[in-house]
Amino acid sequence: MSLPFYFSLFFIFSFSFILPLPSLAANETVPCPLNITVLRVVGGGVRPSFDSGTQCHYILQALHLLQADYLRRSNLFVPPLNASESCWTSFQSFINEFDPSIDIRSSCGLKTEWISQGCMNITTKQKFEATVPSAAIQAVQANCNQSLENNAPCALCTTKLSNLLSYLTGPTVGNVTDCRAYTTIYAASLSDQYGVTDPGNAKCFFGLNFSSSSSSSKRRTIVIVVSVFCFVALLVFAGVWTYLRLKRRNEFAGEKGVGTSELGLGLGSGLDSMNQSTTLIRFSFDEIKKATRNFSRDNMIGSGGYGNVYKGMLPDGSPVAFKRFKNCSVAGDASFTHEVEVIASVRHVNLVTLRGYCTATTNLEGHQRIIVTDLMENGSLYDHLFGSSKKNLTWPIRQKIALGTARGLAYLHYGAQPSIIHRDIKASNILLDHKFEAKVADFGLAKFNPEGMTHMSTRVAGTMGYVAPEYALYGQLTERSDVFSYGVVLLELLSGKKALQTNDDGQPSALTDLAWSLVRNGSALDVVEDGIPEPGPPEVLEKYVLIAVLCSHPQLYARPTMDQVVKMLETDESVPSLMERPIPFIAGRIDIEKSALSNSGQLCSPTGYQAYTLQGRRRSISKEEEEEEGSSVADTVTTE
């Protein structure tokens, strides 16, 4: 054999050993390219302040800050896939330095590979700039490449960033770095002088509020000490006043020999201890009978499965509402204690205020449980939209109700400690005061969200048409379950139609499916009710429709949080692109058969994704007549 032949055999033999090496290298875990120490440098080593209800949000924002530094150094948005495990490990070690109880991936519902996946498969700075028009990029560079510590330059920069989202309409892979995050990561990476380590930029881009000033720390300490002192003094005063009032009332009841006994043991002790830390008043049953004229039918202003609601007047002349539960027994004492505890624990302008309660057992009326709240002169939103005295609300009033309801829910989710999930947001639970200020009411089904929990598994309770699909199907309860219900209420407010209707064929029809089909066909304004007095600009009406459809999206992570909803309603921030939906909750047989024949498993475009953005889709306020509204029923799914 010739010498070249042996060389050929040697080459083939050697190549067979070399071939597997790239595959092994591709699967090998490599060190994380993210510089975790940046987080220690930002703000002089002072960690950002946040509460437990929003810890996952702030953890992701801190990760986006690291990605901005990585983009500045490498021109890459996300680390390679084979570095995802090492990046999570490094980031977890940093988080554990100040809170060892947090497991980022399990607590926040994140997958390992998501850290290496992003918006529209854009991985490099060059590809991002090629996707967005150069004029928009130049506007961002001109307005964001500076110190953003003050509100004015920050607001101008974020406005320019929101314009970029209209060009990033493709799908987001994973749930860590979406297209919205890409814009802030890009902007934060622009400058070496005012980069990611600047506290003002960290606050503007990522909402990470650092405080490196010792004088600010001292002022904050003084404010905290004074506030605590005043609060303790107020508690002492309230406790003494309540004690004297209850003592006087019990002595009066003993002298008169009234046949009324207070509930004891579990319920009584729980409410009595609550009295010591709140301004709740424990009314006697006789006081309430006198205020409601012995529960006169003329004083009845509402009723439901729980019982009746009466209006009345307290001795000081203030009008109040009395919610009287029917068919009371000792078995229901726990749920009553829960509702009183929930309402008493929160105070907000868009939440119904609890004035007091009554627990008593009489010889004639039996076991009694009553709560006393402020009277809402304009009733409920349901009364105005669907009640016998239906009124055509003006657009400014509808806008005010939508924003007030969103603020109330956002406070429950992020302002209350621990956070509270309402579970029964619907039009009849949105009450309106004399100025049509919305007040979220009826916390009977509310759940406290334990610290560090991203969701709870619980028995399903709520109202048909308003319950989020993941909650109805799997019992998975999160704050975004309330977001879904809010989206349905917002659609009712905009369209004047009920959440559930019946079509001409007698089949049930969901308002969320109707609104989605209109938006998908570019007819978002057709969702809005005809003849609204003082209608707003078409672009504003369309924005509200898009927010409602986004909130009522059947997929959990496609919905925004309530604080994001408030921001979109209050500012000019654009609405994110709408992800395609799976098959509607209430779909006709023909629709399901079409879906099956398409092998897609869902009613959507062949690509499986269709984005809808506000820009470029302006329609006239005039519309054709909406289909005749059928009857609908809102029943309780289940109750605990």
CATH fit for domain 381-597, picks 3.40.50.720, 1.10.260.40, 3.30.420.40, 1.10.510.10: 1.10.510.10
Report the alpha-carbon distance of residue 461 to residue 202 in Å, rounded. 41
- Tens of pLDDT, residue by residue over 172-190, are 655 677 787 888 899 888 8
Local confidence band at 158 (pLDDT 50, 70, 90 cut-offs) = confident
Residue 254 is predicted with a pLDDT of: 43
Any idea which of 146-155, 292-301, 394-403, 449-458 has the lowest mean pLDDT?
Answer: 449-458
Active site residue 424: yes
Q: Cα torsion for 420, 424, 425, 430, to the nearest 10°?
A: -100
- Give the pLDDT mean for 599-624: 36
Any idea which of 53-62, 343-352, 583-592, 597-606 has the lowest mean pLDDT?
Answer: 597-606
Report the alpha-carbon distance of residue 567 to residue 185 in Å, rounded. 20
Report the alpha-carbon distance of residue 21 to residue 183 in Å, rounded. 38
Residue 314, pLDDT > 70, answer: yes
Other beta carbons less than 10 A from residue 221's beta carbon: 10
Q: How far apart are the first and last CA of the chain?
A: 88
Model pTM score? 0.52
- Tens of pLDDT, residue by residue over 206-252, are 877 655 444 445 556 666 777 777 778 888 878 877 777 676 655 54
Query: Of the segments 18-32, 290-304, 448-462, which one has the largest average pLDDT value?
Result: 290-304
Per the model's pLDDT, the better-predicted residue between 530 and 146 turns out to be 530
Q: Does 400 carry a binding-site annotation?
A: no
CATH number for the domain whose boundaries are 258-374: 3.30.200.20
- Give the pLDDT mean for 304-316: 84
- Tens of pLDDT, residue by residue over 445-496, are 566 554 444 445 556 677 889 999 988 888 888 899 999 999 999 999 999 9
Provide the pairing of β-strand 281-282 with 354-362: parallel
Other beta carbons less than 10 A from residue 349's beta carbon: 13
Residue 441, pLDDT > 60, answer: yes
How is residue 439 written in tokens? 């007040």
Asked if 180 and 193 count as a contact pair (C-beta separation under 8 A), the reply is no
Residue 126 is predicted with a pLDDT of: 92
CATH 1.10.510.10 boundaries in the chain? 381-597
Asked if 29 and 90 count as a contact pair (C-beta separation under 8 A), the reply is no
Query: Of the segments 342-351, 593-602, 610-619, which one has the largest average pLDDT value?
Result: 342-351
Which of 69, 424, 442, 513 is labelled catalytic? 424
- What DSSP string describes 13-30? HHHHHHTHHHHHHHHS--
Residue 25, pLDDT > 70, answer: no
Q: What is the largest CA-CA distance in the chain?
A: 124
Any idea which of 14-23, 47-56, 141-150, 477-486 has the lowest mean pLDDT?
Answer: 14-23
Other beta carbons less than 10 A from residue 639's beta carbon: 14
529 φψ region: left (φ > 0), alpha (ψ -120 to 50), beta (else):
beta
- As to burial, measured by CB atoms within 10 angstroms (0-12 exposed, 13-18 middle, 19+ buried), residue 552 is buried
CA dist 422 → 325, 342, 430, 472, 478 (Å): 19, 10, 12, 15, 10
Residue 384, pLDDT > 50, answer: yes
